[in-house]
Structure 1
Amino acid sequence: MKSLHHESNLEVTHLLKPNILYCNWIGPQTTEGIKQSGAVILDLQVRHAFRKILNDNTQVVGPWHLAARWTADEWFPAMVNAGMTHFAWVLSPNVFAETSAKRALPTGDVVTTFKSYDDAFAWLTDKP
């Protein structure tokens, strides 16, 4: 593992074997924080061309629905254009955070949601 970014709301780690970008979101999220952190992740994606991302929301609490449309309409297309092919999203056990995440899902089949890190990791490692 190699730490790539650390803020109060997000830790980004490169899981070296297999080659996965792990994004661990923490605590309450704001629209500004999500957009800033999304820009960091996109920059890492552009520089390193990660095909697989494990996005972990298990520690997220509360709603962040104001950033959901931006995530679906702008951020996901930019990530796909930068080479992402598989995005495993571990949903928060917090109902408000989970609802926001579901609003942020883009159209298409790039994103698959999970209830556990282990299931998401297994799914990603099974992808070519």
Structure 2
Amino acid sequence: MEVLYDSPPLAISYDPAHEWLYVEWRGSHTAASARSGGEQILDCLRQQPCRKMLNDNTLVTSDWESAARWVGGEYYQQLAELRMRYVAWVCATNWSARKSMETAMLFITEPTVVLFDDVATAYTWLARQGRH
């Protein structure tokens, strides 16, 4: 994996074997940190274009409900505009963080986003997407 960005709350890597971004969110997040992290992911996607992303929220420990509409309505639309097609979104074990994710899902029209409870299942699903 090629590390594109790494900080305590967010790590972004490119997996050349699968041609996807692996994004790991960590700890407590607010609307502001969700938005700045989303902008960082968009920057990395411009730097390393790809059509798939494994978005791992397993380690998120707080809700970010106030950013859910932006994440689902604007951020994911921007991902689609950068040609992102498939996102495997791994749910946080924290209930309030998971609720924020489910709220964001209400606003997503593209790309294709599927929620998962574990990284292994998300990985398997994402690897199967886009095959001809």
Match of 1:99 in 2: 99
Does the Cα contact within 8 Å between 2:79 and 2:111 map onto a contact in 1?
no
Alpha-carbon distance, 1:109 to partner:
6.1
Pairing 1:25-104 to 2, within 5 Å after superposition:
25-104=25-104
Q: Cα deviation per residue 1:93-116 (whole Å; 9 max; x = unaligned)?
A: 111110001111113561001001
CA–CA distance in structure 1, aligned partners of residues 47 and 27 of structure 2: 27
Which residue identity lines up with residue 68 of structure 1 in the other structure?
A
Q: Percent identical across equivalent pairs?
A: 31
Q: Cα deviation per residue 1:46-89 (whole Å; 9 max; x = unaligned)?
A: 23221000000100012110110110111000100100000000
Q: Which runs of 4+ in 1 moved over 3 A?
A: none
CA–CA distance in structure 2, aligned partners of residues 65 and 8 of structure 1: 21
Tell me the matched-pair count. Answer: 128
Query: Helix, strand or coil: the match of 2:8?
Result: coil
Match of 2:11 in 1: 11
Q: Where does structure 2 lack aligned partners over 5 or more consecutive residues?
A: none
Q: Where does structure 1 lack aligned partners over 5 or more consecutive residues?
A: none
Which residue identity lines up with residue 58 of structure 1 in the other structure?
T
Alpha-carbon distance, 1:124 to partner:
0.7
Matched, 1:110 2:131: no
TM-score by length of 1: 0.95
Cα separation, partners in 2 of 1:109 and 1:47, compared to 1, 3 Å: closer
Does the Cα contact within 8 Å between 1:27 and 1:59 map onto a contact in 2?
yes
TM-score by length of 2: 0.92
